[in-house]
Homo-oligomer: A and B are copies of this chain.
């Protein structure tokens, strides 16, 4: 396994942000001092700014979702490290609208602390601020884990729907309620057959045998509670989907959003094969995706794995999901 193409491990994120801002100058501006991206223009009816952030290494999340119909701003930290609270505070001030700022936060201790400090400072400045916490990772759903479930790929679906609701003029409380309802009905499970390359060591972050997978891996290479045998794809997707359905208990005929998400080094061939199996398994449960995404939406550097996300939506959410979006990574 080789290391990254970069000018040095400290340079990779700032270099990437500059390149991103150059490639998408029609959509975003970069504040190079504080290290955040700001949407160039969003809907005039939007009263509340949406801001997200987290460690880098999960691209296109979140920078790729800044733009029309989705996020007003994104704060990337260093690779797999929370953004600094000053960065979040400055980005929130720059993005804030009359109705305030909504922080969409993946559930990790560092992110919670830094977004929390920024929110306190914003309150002192009189900027209304609320938080949606996304905690969709079923693999970390255990009474033993005091911090609760991790936030992963489901964040993309939450951000898309909130973006359209914000464009429609929803206020801070309504957005907070909507986001929390979506997060509560969203679960994700991830597997990997090879770890990501550690950016500092240039080595795989962990090692698996040729027929092993990490079943329930986290997007920072958090080891799963169990290493499983790999086996063919069909039974694997059946098992993953079965556990997600057991956790969510969706009614037949419900409005289901699905995301088959590559974690970095998995091919589109594999992801589409996973989607085919997912549709088959859901069908056997009397379910079908109302909308689906297949691709690299929330990665873990070059991890060789994929995640499955199910979100049980309300039929009324579909209009928000379908509303136009124009960002670097999501566009319709």
Residues of A within 8 A of B (CB): 1-8, 11-13, 15-20, 22-23, 56-57, 59-60, 64, 79, 193-194, 202, 208, 210, 213, 230, 232-234, 236, 264-277, 279, 292, 294, 296, 299, 301-302, 304, 306, 331-332
Contact = CB atoms under 8 A, between A and B. Distances in A.
Contacts of A232: 6-8
B268 A6 contact: no
Given A23-B292, A273-B7, A276-B22, A267 B15 contact: no
Contact of A275 (B22, B213, B277): B22
A267 B19 contact: no
Nearest to A192: B2
Contacts of A57: 267, 269
A18 B202 contact: no
A181 B265 CA distance: 35
B12 A268 contact: no
A20 B57 CA distance: 27
| Dominant SS among interface residues on chain A | mixed
A44 B292 CA distance: 28
Given A5-B233, A23-B294, A56-B269, 7 more contacts: A4-B267, A7-B232, A16-B268, A19-B275, A19-B294, A59-B269, A265-B265
Contacts of A292: 23
A39 B261 CA distance: 25
Contacts of A294: 19-20, 23
Nearest to A270: B5
Nearest to A209: B2
A273 B19 contact: yes
A303 to B, nearest CB: 9
A276 B15 contact: yes
Contacts of A4: 267, 269-270
A210 B19 contact: no
16 contacts: A1-B194, A3-B193, A5-B193, A5-B236, A5-B270, A15-B272, A16-B268, A16-B272, A19-B275, A20-B275, A22-B276, A23-B292, A59-B267, A59-B268, A64-B268, A267-B301
Q: Which 6 A-B pairs have CB atoms at the shortest separation, nearest pair first?
A: A19-B276, A19-B272, A2-B193, A59-B268, A265-B265, A15-B273
B2 A304 contact: yes
Contacts of A18: 276
A235 to B, nearest CB: 9
A8 to B, nearest CB: 7
A306 B264 CA distance: 14
A213 to B, nearest CB: 8
A2 B306 CA distance: 14
Contacts of A194: 1-2
Contacts of A213: 2
A295 B205 CA distance: 24
A22 B18 CA distance: 37
A57 B274 CA distance: 16
Contacts of A17: 272
B2 A230 contact: yes
